[in-house]
Amino acid sequence: MFLGILSAGTAFTLWGIFPLYLKLLKSVPSLEILSHRVMWSAIFLGLILAYRRQWDWVQSIRARPRIALAFVTSAAMLGANWVIYIWAVNADRIVDASLGYFIAPLFNVLFGVLLGERLKPLQWTAIALAGGGVAWLTLSTGELPWIGLVLAITFSLYGLIRKTAALGALEGLSVETLVMLPLAALFLLLPDSGSSHAFASGSVSLMLMLVAAGPVTAVPLLLFAFGARRIPLSVVGLLQYIGPSIQMMLGVWLYHEAFGINRQIGFALIWTALALYSVEALWRAWRPAAANPSADRDGQ
Q: Is 299 exposed, middle or buried (0-12, 13-18, 19+ CB in 10 A)?
A: exposed
3-state SS class at 113: helix
Tens digit of each residue's pLDDT (9 = 90 or more) over 142-195: 889 999 999 999 988 888 887 777 777 788 889 999 999 999 999 998 887 778
At 106-155, the pLDDT tens digits run 888 888 777 777 878 888 898 899 999 999 999 988 889 999 999 999 98
Tell me how far apart the alpha carbons of residues 133 and 142 are, in angstroms, rounded to a whole number: 14
Average pLDDT over the chain, rounded to whole?
87
Q: Is the pTM of this model over 0.85?
A: yes
Pick from 192, 184, 156: which is nearest to 74 by CA?
Answer: 156
Residue-level pLDDT at 234? 66
| Buried residues in 128-165 as b, exposed as e (16+ CB within 10 A) | ebbbbbbebbeeeeeeebebbbbbbbbbbbbbbbbeeb
**φ, ψ dihedrals at 86, nearest 5°:** -60, -45
- Between CA 87 and CA 23 the distance in angstroms is 10
Q: Domain segments of the chain: what residues?
A: 2-190+203-286
